[in-house]
Chain A
């Protein structure tokens, strides 16, 4: 589960944000919408421990990630937070399977090869696991990054505009997939988007203004 209390953030002069409190329990989904410049990505990065809030608390699994040391935060992030980005980035020199394995190794020090294979199979990628990520289509790449985000069974799954580069059919597929997987793995799913297709799909919404 993830919950925030009175978090604020500022990029120096002028741009500062005060975010509404968010709470999302295991297996639930929350959609954060809002126009550009409203701090959607900033909020997501705060939730993911990539940025630290100026004030307020971010509780992931009852741990305040704002006060963790740099090294502990890196570790915590790897173990408990899964991130799916708008554009999928991979280690270009590693195969699809190795990319997913690497995520498990970085978080736990162990390579969960079997688990990675199962997960990729679950996402219809079993024929592509030995290919390089660059050899896959955008939709396939998106699914690989979902697999990578889920390999460590994180408490929180964060998705940043996961559907913006996909067509309608794929967008709904990915939305269903994220929703179902989050329920399956008991993760709190937070999706940040301005995609109206997703707004129809998920009812639990917060709009930043």
Chain B
């Protein structure tokens, strides 16, 4: 009954109530989005980098190398000589080495030349058809197949570079021989072929096109040492973009990042270190947002406090009346606290929902731009539970002074002055 009364009182002042709930909703929504983003972001990043100890690639920013070769989000740092890379790939320290050659794209989805080890590394399975074997045979990731409605047996022409509107390679068509299972990792958004296909595509391409023209169509500027202007024997002059390395002997992880730039034109970057660095950079921004959200929560607490405190003056007769009718002091205290908690619980509920709707939109645009989707229906119980407790705490704190005032109300005096 007291709870029902609190509920009625809450909606008797709809503007005050709405203001408090909106403020709470905003802060809870922001924090919820941050919690989910952070968790899923880190999960995505670490699951994609699983089993990659080092990445071998052209010199430049190590972070860029990791982003481009492991996460497929940035332009590559450049190309490396396949012969040169091979020496390191065959080193006894190395357990597996997966070469990557970035070539063309099809409607914005990258076509990557690699080996079937790449498919195994991401634990993807060929759900229909088979893995690529011959030149120009490709398998497509699950997202690519779904979005572009591709299936085994289809043929398509790639566009040069990583720009969707790049010039189309009409000399050779890619032939889809398989579709991969869904993994939730970057491979879902890739089209994979063998390395020779990438080379072959660009060999024939070179013959027909002027070099300058080609450069104009590059989506990125790190490809200056692309293979077309080199006058060397074909097999030796071939280039790839990066190599994903997994070590048998952990010593290599420590020594190679120093050894390789000293001896070659390449670098070896560790995904773990670079991603850690990236999170530290992100962390500042996330932290700022978090402070903002907690600030809004503080303001909503104050708003609840002011609303309760202000109405106390006009409601003291109500309280005196309740006492006359047999309510105890404690019931008045309870009433005020419950009114505050109603606001907090509603604010939390709306905040959780609004936060997830926001994440749905964020996920939509992130998927378009970075091929990275977030799941808005995941619950991070620990952190969200803490957030709920925090919200309740704010509610109780805001209600303390008004509740104690109601508790201490002198009924005789209140009614005598009426």
Show the binding face of A for B, using Cβ within 8 Å.
Answer: 41-42, 45, 48, 50-51, 70-71, 74-75, 77-79, 83, 85-87, 89-94, 98, 102-103, 105-107, 111, 148, 160
Contact = CB atoms under 8 A, between A and B. Distances in A.
Interface size bucket, B side?
20 to 34
A86 B5 CA distance: 25
B326 A78 contact: yes
A102 B328 contact: no
B325 A78 contact: yes
Interface string B389-418: 000000000000000000000011001101
B15 interface: no
A94 B326 CA distance: 17
B26 interface: no
A123 to B, nearest CB: 18
Given A91-B321, A93-B11, A106 B326 contact: yes
- Most A Cβ at <10 Å: residue of B323, B324, B329, B331: B324
B9 interface: yes
Contacts of A45: 412, 415-416
Interface string B4-18: 010011011000000
Contacts of A83: 324
A86 B1 contact: no
Nearest to B324: A83
Nearest to A92: B12
Contact of B418 (A74, A78, A85, A91): A85
A130 B240 CA distance: 81
Contact of A105 (B1, B9, B318, B323): B1
24 contacts: A42-B416, A45-B412, A45-B415, A48-B324, A51-B412, A74-B323, A75-B326, A78-B326, A78-B327, A85-B415, A86-B418, A89-B317, A91-B321, A92-B315, A93-B9, A93-B11, A93-B12, A94-B5, A94-B8, A102-B325, A105-B1, A106-B325, A106-B327, A107-B326
Given A91-B321, A111-B1, A71 B412 contact: no
A102 B1 contact: yes
B340 to A, nearest CB: 16
Contacts of A94: 5, 8
Interface string B320-338: 1111111111010000000
A50 B411 contact: yes
B5 A102 contact: yes
Contacts of B320: 89
3 shortest A-B CB distances, which residue pairs? Answer: A78-B326, A93-B12, A89-B317
Contacts of B415: 41, 45, 50, 85, 160
A71 B318 contact: no
Contact of B326 (A77, A92, A93, A160): A77
Nearest to A45: B412
A90 B326 CA distance: 14
Contacts of A85: 415, 418
Contacts of B323: 50, 74, 77
Which residue, of A45, A92, A94, has the highest number of chain B Cβ atoms within 10 A?
Answer: A92
